[in-house]
Amino acid sequence: MTRHFLVEQIRLKRSYLCVGLDTDITKIPHHLLADADPVFAFNKAIIDATKDICVAYKINTAFYEALGVKGWEAMEKTVRYIGDDHFKIADAKRGDIGNTADQYAKAFFETLPFDAITVAPYMGEDSVKPFLQHKGKWAIVLGLTSNKGAADFELLHTGGEFLYEKVLETVSVWGNTDNLMFVIGATQAAEFANIRKLTPHHFYLVPGVGAQGGSLKEISEQALIKDIGILVNVSRGIIYASHGEDFADKAREAAGEYQLEMAGYVR
């Protein structure tokens, strides 16, 4: 998916909401467990309920890989069901030497029709570049994450700057604003103004709003740019809004509340 098309969808829907399909089979409504593929049945219902008010879906591959072949099949059915009008993110956090990274890129961009994959930059340029060689596809590189452990390395001072700042400055020139995004956690609101100075035109994938306590208002005020430039991911707060048979309706209600607030920030 091109940046132009993504921005068009954001403006059309007045939404930069990404719904996280981090589907844990132990948390889906019990009545779905009788289905031949309960994970896909759950995802399909969530997608049908939210597709007109979000612009992206993020699939955390760990929840599917943990189920073996059946989980992988559910993931593939899910990403194909989403279709081409939504930005499809594989939250796989890959990062390995060049020839291995190339195979990961083929897996998620050719075998599977994802538009983007999250990437860990620790091993350097040759571990990221293979994800940037596919037309219309994106690498979403970990920048400053929302977890407590971000303080262990990302917020270390190195030569007068935080390590995450060095990462943003270095990685930003490996690709461009049409194929490279950064993960910036919503719980790091105090750093957003600085992050925007370092990467003024890049899109950010922003997890951490909702269950992790990040503020949509704060993030929107500090990170939005002329063509929006952010995708705010919400997972548990939407997909587990109810554990009953009304789970899809409640997911739509929760997603709608986020979209309504976002509409007020879209110019």
| Residues with active-site annotation | 93
Q: Which residues pair with 205 in a beta bridge?
A: 183, 231
Q: What is the DSSP letter of 87?
A: E
Distance CA 29, CA 246 (A): 9
Cβ 11 vs Cβ 266: under 8 Å? yes
Q: What is the DSSP letter of 146?
A: S
Q: Tally the C-alpha atoms within 13 A of residue 210's C-alpha that lie toward its C-beta.
A: 21
Distance CA 98, CA 107 (A): 14
7-41: b or e for each residue (b if 16 or more CB lie within 10 Å)? Answer: bebbeebbbbbbbbbbbbbeebbeebeeeebbbbb
SS3 143: strand
